[in-house]
């Protein structure tokens, strides 16, 4: 599974009005000026401190990022003459900014508020200091503006590892997921997995709202897993740490025998370990998926049983006795 196979959804954005009403926002914001621009869009999760824009240095200012004016910037603005304040305000508000945030409960000079109203640029005030305000804004924007993609597959929590089952339609992904649920693991999403990126380098998955807790099994139809097996059989969201690609067994294909070759795929630019499992009658796929998840847990803990095995074989071929560490 690659980014080409799992197209991104349109880039997310949030309007200033939506931000002001967002229940995740951890700091109160009130509109000081520029109410005519509350539908302007914010498209970048990081904020900027744009004090240099007041002196005409506009390079690097991104209009669709929140601009923060704190104590330092306002102290500079208040030290200016009325004419210089008007020039600074024109420089700043000529950029078509999405929104300007004033921290510490301060009130900017009247020239700034007048220019904000004239250009319909929202100016909002926050009572907290700049660092606390920026932290709160980053938290909500990281959630609302995270890069996203829709993946075709089934996402299951197996021993706490987010396992994404991929493969062609009808290969048995949902049936394997149902058996995993019956073995005590948890369903996250079936068919459509909504994936989103979280810094510094993780991808999380959850079900589409209409499909949450549901699993389609051919011959039985759509099942509500939570109704059948209880709340412990489902999970709302999990980090995707392993992709298990299911494919029909092909006699001529070469499948991994030792596990030395580590395969990876890219989801939203994040490399995720991938294993390919051939499907054929009589093969218990759910148990093999469990073993794959256990192996991933060992790998995350710094253990690689395959490499240990190869070292023992090489030592035996050279007539060397294995060390205590190699014997486990």
Instruction: Find out whether 164 and 176 touch, Cβ atoms under 8 Å.
Output: no
Instruction: Find out whether 265 and 243 touch, Cβ atoms under 8 Å.
Output: yes
First to last CA, the chain: 35
Catalytic residue flag (residue 46): no
Rounded to an integer, what distance in angstroms lies between the CA atom of residue 180 and that of residue 166? 15
Catalytic residue flag (residue 117): no
Q: For residue 323, how many other CB atoms are within 10 A of its CB?
A: 10
Cross-sheet strand order for the sheet of 123-125: 30-33, 123-125, 100-102, 67-69, 48-49
Catalytic residue among 157, 190, 191, 196: 191
Q: For residue 45, how many other CB atoms are within 10 A of its CB?
A: 21
Catalytic residue flag (residue 287): no
Phi and psi at residue 200, to the nearest 5°: -90, 0
Catalytic residue among 8, 44, 49, 152: 152
Catalytic residue flag (residue 191): yes
Catalytic residue among 65, 173, 185, 214: 173
Cis peptide before 76 (omega within 30 of 0): no
- CA nearest to 309, candidates 297, 295, 296, 326: 326
126 sits in the region (left: phi over 0; alpha: psi -120 to 50; else beta) called beta
CA 99 to chain centre: 24
Residues identified as active-site = 152, 173, 191, 257
């Amino acid at each position: 599974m690659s980014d080409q196979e799992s197209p991104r959804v349109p880039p997310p954005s949030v309007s200033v009005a939506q931000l002001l009403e967002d229940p995740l926002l951890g700091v109160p914001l009130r509109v000081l000026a520029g109410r005519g621009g509350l539908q302007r869009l914010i498209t970048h999760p990081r904020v900027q401190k744009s004090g240099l824009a007041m002196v005409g240095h506009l390079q690097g200012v991104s209009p669709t990022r929140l601009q923060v004016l704190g104590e330092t910037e306002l102290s500079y603005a208040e030290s200016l003459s009325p004419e210089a304040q008007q020039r600074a305000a024109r420089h700043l508000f000529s950029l078509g900014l999405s929104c300007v945030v004033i921290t510490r409960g301060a009130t900017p000079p009247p020239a700034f508020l007048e220019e904000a109203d004239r250009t319909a640029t929202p100016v909002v005030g926050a009572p907290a200091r700049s660092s606390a305000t920026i932290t709160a804004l980053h938290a909500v924007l990281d959630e609302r503006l995270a890069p996203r993609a829709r993946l075709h597959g089934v996402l299951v929590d197996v021993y706490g590892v987010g396992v994404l089952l991929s493969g062609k339609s009808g290969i048995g992904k949902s049936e394997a997921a149902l058996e995993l649920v019956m073995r005590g693991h948890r369903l996250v999403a079936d068919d459509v997995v909504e994936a989103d990126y979280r810094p510094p380098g993780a991808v999380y998955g959850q079900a589409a709202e209409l499909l949450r807790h549901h699993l389609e099994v051919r011959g039985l139809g759509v099942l509500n897993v939570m109704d059948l097996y209880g709340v412990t059989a489902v999970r709302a969201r999990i980090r995707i740490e392993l992709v298990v690609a299911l494919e029909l067994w092909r006699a001529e294909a070469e499948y991994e025998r030792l596990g030395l070759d580590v395969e990876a795929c890219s989801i939203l630019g994040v490399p995720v370990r991938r294993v390919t499992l051939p499907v054929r009658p009589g093969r218990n796929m759910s148990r093999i998926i469990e073993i794959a998840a256990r192996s991933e847990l060992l790998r995350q803990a710094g253990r690689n049983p395959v490499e240990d095995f190869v070292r023992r074989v090489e030592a035996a071929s050279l007539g060397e006795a294995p060390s205590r560490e190699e014997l486990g």
